[in-house]
Amino acid sequence: QKYGYFHCKDCKTRWESAYVWCISGSNKVYFKQFCRKCQKGFNPYRVEAIQCQTCSKTRCSCPQKKRHIDLKRPHRQELCGRCKGKRLSCDNTYSFKYIV
């Protein structure tokens, strides 16, 4: 699981996601994510390891994170190529909140 940055070239929407699934040891993306406006599938234009930007660890106890992530915000299952149309969502199987 990696952190990805997305850009829809059609409607200029940008988004980020902690639910980017890559082949182990690489940045090759398995599943596209869909633009919420156009419903077109995109791979991220940039992918990085999920780690704290303050201490560079995957698990940390830093009181404040640099990246703005709302842990209460639900995973958009209908826009995720991995769990779209399935009963079990990505955030139920493996969640960003347990990593950072």
pLDDT in tens, 35-53: 989 989 899 999 888 777 7
Residues spanned by the domain of 87: 1-99
Instruction: Give the 3-state DSSP-derived string for the chain, with helices as H, strands as E and coil as C.
Output: CEEEEEECCCCCCEEEEEEECECCCCCCECCCEECCCCCCEECCCEEEECCCCCCCCCCCCCCCCCCCCCCCCCCCHHHECCCCCCCCCHHHHCCHHHCC
pLDDT tens string 10-31: 999 998 888 888 887 777 887 8
**Mean pLDDT computed over 74-93:** 71
Q: How many domains does the chain have?
A: 1
Give percent above pLDDT 70 in the chain.
69
